[in-house]
Amino acid sequence: MNADELRARAAAWQADDPDETDRAELAALLADDSPEAAAELADRFAGRLIFGTAGLRGAVGAGPNRMNRATVTTATAALAAWLLGRDPAAANAGVVVGCDARHRSEEFAAQTARVLAGAGLRVYLLPSRQPTPLLAYAVRYLQAAAGVMITASHNPVGDNGYKVYVADGAQIAPPADTDVEAAMDLVGPSTAVPVAPADSPLISLVGDEVAQAYLDAICAELGPAPQGSAWLRLTYTPLHGVAGQLALRAFEQAGYPRPDVVEAQFAPDPDFPTLRLPNPEEPGALDLAVAQARRSGADLIIANDPDGDRLAVAIPDPAAPGGYRQLTGDQVGALLGWFLLERLAVDPGAKLSEQLVVSTVVSGSLLSTIAAAAGAPYAQTLTGFKWIVRAADLRPDVRFCYGYEEALGYAVTGAVRDKDGISAALAVLAVAATASQAGQSLQDVYDALEQAHGVHVTAQVSVPTEGAIDVMSRLRGAPPPDLGGDPVRAVTDYSGGSDLPSADMLGYQLAGARVVIRPSGTEPRIKAYLEVVELVTGRTLAGARLAADARMARLRAAVAELLR
């Protein structure tokens, strides 16, 4: 697209943009002759935001490649057309709409509600600044046809997003997402989309009853706090996100002591002033919590991400910087899976042979080993909770018990068909309190798991690149004969489909190790997920860990070189 075509497209978008602020933003860019403004304009019109992980996500700003009121209007009109085209009864069942505290989230949620009502759909509008798991729960609780959550989850400060749930309470999945994507092409000018007034009788403002029902449901499934939990010292932070108030209510209702809150990060703030990136996986994200935990002598640190659907956990470790070490998602995933299966094992009404536990192809394998030892079925899915929570849907012999993915996401109850950082926090507290009753720590519990099932070390290699498709093509054409000095025993190409839907992903199996490589779904980079397993038999646990760490170092170096 040459400069004249670009400016013509921008002017056409500006004329059709329903938002005065966005129109002014484009006008300023069009009036600016600098190379920076030209590059910015080109990026905004390089394409259109497309449905990725359950919806749209991108930087807030004017233009088709940005999150703005016009983009939200088009997406919502397409969603409404898709819902009504499938089932006219969706109009009365309605759509639940919620939002987090990101920049313009409330505006986008209000626009979503008004466009849905303009299409004749009933709308349940949640109170503003609520966590994503509450929206996921509300879809089934209110028996709605769908849900829309305005959130960018843990993306950078300037982003926002539009996340869609369907009637089963789970994230939208293929082919529905591509159908909505195709419907966006048919919407036409956003200013021509019917928009109901904010006080439309089709829009109902939801009170606290849904939040209380959610708390009742997760507390009932996970049970009250174990005896002795009053002595548990906890530091908690929602990282400037929206989970804080609901999480504190959950802790209190379950019977846990009020945590020592990181006050500087408790109130929702879309600028995330104390964080470099609002992602609990990022180094330094828990620094304030660690400093506070060190002062109070906390037994445990837990943190939710900005929209409350993920959970980070850190435990005391004198050898770690600051005296606390963050557990990996795979470590927490194994701990929670073991704990939930242990509880079911003593429940006379539960059959372990019917309790399905689930993780993904890029997550660690310790959960599968724990499940096998317990006699529980295990399933592996592609990355994403739209796959994880549906793993039992077509299997009449099992029920979904638990699922996780390594990126700090856990589904520990049947109340929410998505990852839920608040119920997961309750489950972690239950593990810690139960261990404390026996004079143990979370580390002691995890040590016992690795003593029994082997040391499982996982890691990631992430390489920025605009040519991820070329890297994947090169690897398919010339698979490596070995990695880190160990022969590659088998290669799995997931693009051809197998027991799983087709995905642009490669897996390499080595003796006691594996590597999975895929392009990122949200960033211009390629990612590799590594695991090394060392059995403890004939040596100490410490010795097995040293051997696993040494092997992982070699494997990481080899994979980093492979992806260059």
Give me the residue label for tokens 């935001």: 49
Q: Which helix (H) or strand (E) holds 432?
A: helix 421-437
Instruction: Write the CB contacts of 536 (distance below 8 Å, at least 6 apart in sequence).
Output: 450, 451, 454, 455, 544
Asked if 531 and 458 touch (Cβ cutoff 8 Å), the reply is yes
**Cα–Cα distance measured from residue 245 to residue 251, given in angstroms and rounded to the nearest whole number:** 10
Peptide bond into 175 cis (omega under 30): yes
Q: How far apart are the first and last CA of the chain?
A: 30
Q: How far is CA 34 from CA 23, 25, 27, 37, in A?
A: 19, 15, 14, 5
Instruction: Fill in the DSSP letter of residue 25.
Output: H
Asked if 129 and 268 touch (Cβ cutoff 8 Å), the reply is yes
Candidates 184, 193, 135; CA nearest to 418 is 135
- 3-state secondary structure string across 363-423: CCCHHHHHHHHHCCCEEEECCCHHHHCCCCCCCCCCEEEEEEECCCEEECCCCCCCCCHHH
Instruction: Write the CB contacts of 232 (distance below 8 Å, at least 6 apart in sequence).
Output: 256, 257, 299, 300, 429, 432, 433, 436
Whether 153 is catalytic: yes
Name the region of 331 (left: φ>0; alpha: ψ -120 to 50; beta: rest).
alpha
Instruction: Give the distance, in angstroms, between the CA of residue 257 and the centroid of all CA atoms in the same chain.
Output: 27
Q: Which residues pair with 106 in a beta bridge?
A: none
User: One of 105, 153, 363, 368 is an active-site residue; which one?
Assistant: 153
Radius of gyration of the chain (CA): 24
Which of the residues are catalytic? 153
